[in-house]
């Protein structure tokens, strides 16, 4: 699997969890990550930078993810963060 494909998959995994959550915080963060996925199609580095900025901004405050999904979401978020850092050489 290519880095670009894995980046898209990891982003969409996070978006899927967030779309199952209630509340405006989850919806806003899902929209930001979906936008990063779109950016990543045209420019992988720009998409990764946008996703990493969203991840690091705390946009995914724990209160947006139900307690039963926190562990799974954390795993997905960590994976996405690692991919973004590899793409950006950080």
* b/e burial code for range 14-53 (CB count within 10 A of at least 16 → b): bbebbeebeeebbeebbebbbebbebbeeebeebbbbbbe
Percent of the chain with pLDDT over 70: 86
Mean pLDDT of the chain: 85
| Every domain of the chain and the residues it spans | 3-88
What pLDDT score does 60 carry? 53
Which pTM value belongs to this model? 0.84
Report, as an integer, the average pLDDT of 6-29. 85
């Amino acid at each position: 699997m290519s880095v670009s494909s894995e980046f898209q998959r990891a982003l969409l995994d996070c978006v899927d969890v967030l779309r199952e959550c209630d509340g405006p915080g989850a919806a806003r963060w899902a929209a930001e990550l979906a936008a990063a996925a779109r950016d990543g199609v045209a420019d992988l580095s720009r998409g990764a930078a946008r996703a990493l900025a969203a991840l690091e901004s705390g946009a995914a405050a724990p209160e947006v993810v139900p307690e039963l999904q926190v562990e799974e979401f954390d795993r997905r978020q960590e994976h996405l963060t690692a991919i973004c850092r590899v793409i950006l050489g950080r």
